[in-house]
Structure 1
Amino acid sequence: MTDQPAAAAGGADHSRERADLLEVLGTHRGFLRYTVRDLDDEQAKQRTTVSELCLGGLIKHVAGVEERWMRFAVGGADAMRSEPVDWEGQFKMAEGETLAGLLGAYERVAARTDELVATLDLDAAHALPEAPWFKPGATWSVRRVLLHVLAETSQHAGHADIIRESLDGARTMG
């Protein structure tokens, strides 16, 4: 027996996998954060397409999604639903919210995720919450949750790039 948490005892393969997952997730978080560089709060609130999306709202949404899915990774569907979600407001900057505040919250969520990835068993799985978009009785492993968070972050980093380019011509890439 060792004093290592069971999840961390996965050996070199799991250590490399964890490092790879965190590196790619960190890269896409960085793309998203870079997209909002040098913006003020009014610019971050602005809609530049027919969509309801704004840059500050995307930061807020991605942080919320990552936080909820990591609660799921730790404690399952009940933990995921333990805090209410403002489904309409999650993509908008509310009165009094600032881009700096949203970025700070996102940093805290990201740091917590990174800590959890180091300790959670990637093969541990929980039943998904009941929802029309999930197959009844389906389960996701912690690994699958991380892949989903990565996909969400990547997708919304792309949305943010389009919004930013529409706002002032600045682009994350290219």
Structure 2
Amino acid sequence: MTEPDLSQERRDLLETLRLHRWFLRSTTEGMSEEQARTRSTVSELTLGGLVKHVAATERGWADFVVHGTESMAPPEDGDYSAWQSEFSLTDDETLADVLARYDAVATRTDELVATVDLDRAWPLPEAPWFEPGATRSARRTFLHIVAETAQHSGHADVIREAIDGHKTMG
């Protein structure tokens, strides 16, 4: 299926996802491994860690679109610390690794945007940040991925500017 064959809604979703991914990726252009790991603000966030987190988040929501609630089950012991590790590069990860992973995730998500029933909905798992009994459609999930990516692109822009003065968004 070529994109012109897609509905306007699907083309809009794809264009918006790709734009915000580009903003995030562009914050890493020309960065060294050391810079990709640099905490340039008071937060724990780094450029490499943000890309890793956004890729993992997008993958998780794409899994939700396909497999539903079980794919996002919270840890049985209530310990969310493993999810915190998404925000930093491990010693054996590189910026190139997480960018490649992000590309693979984006390709899969784009295929889902083009093919899944956008009205298909699943209950959200029980978690402190979800309203009890709420559901999310594929459409709303893709919009959430856009919002998540846009928010973290802004974070990345601030981090990059603090590292070397480069502004990616203006």
Q: Is TM more than 0.5 here?
A: yes
Aligned to 1:94: 90
SS at structure 2 position matched to 1:86? helix
Residue-by-residue CA offset, 1:15-50 (whole Å, 9 max, x unaligned): 110000010110000000001000111110010001
Give the Cα separation in 2 of the matches to 1:154 and 1:111. 18
- Give the structure-1-normalised TM-score: 0.89
Quick check: 2:74–2:127 contact (8 Å CA) kept in 1? no
Aligned to 1:26: 18
Match of 1:38 among 17, 30, 35: 30
Match of 2:156 among 157, 160, 163: 160
Aligned to 1:151: 147
Match of 2:50 among 58, 63, 71: 58
Deviation at 1:173, TM superposition (A): 2.0
Give the Cα separation in 2 of the matches to 1:165 and 1:173. 10
- Name the CA shift for 1:47/1:72 in 2 (closer, same or farther; >3 Å): same
Does residue 1:173 correspond to 2:169, yes or no?
yes
Deviation at 1:122, TM superposition (A): 0.3
Deviation at 1:86, TM superposition (A): 2.4
- Name the CA shift for 1:85/1:112 in 2 (closer, same or farther; >3 Å): farther
- Name the CA shift for 1:30/1:166 in 2 (closer, same or farther; >3 Å): same
Task: State the aligned residue count.
Answer: 163
Can you give the 5+ residue segments of structure 2 that lack an aligned partner in the other structure?
Answer: none
Give the Cα separation in 2 of the matches to 1:71 and 1:150. 16
- Give the structure-2-normalised TM-score: 0.91
- Return the letter of the residue paired with 2:141: V
Quick check: 2:64–2:72 contact (8 Å CA) kept in 1? yes
Alignment of 1:79-118 (within 5 A): 79-81=71-73, 86-118=82-114
* Percent identical: 56
Give the Cα separation in 2 of the matches to 1:15 and 1:139. 24
SS at structure 2 position matched to 1:140? strand
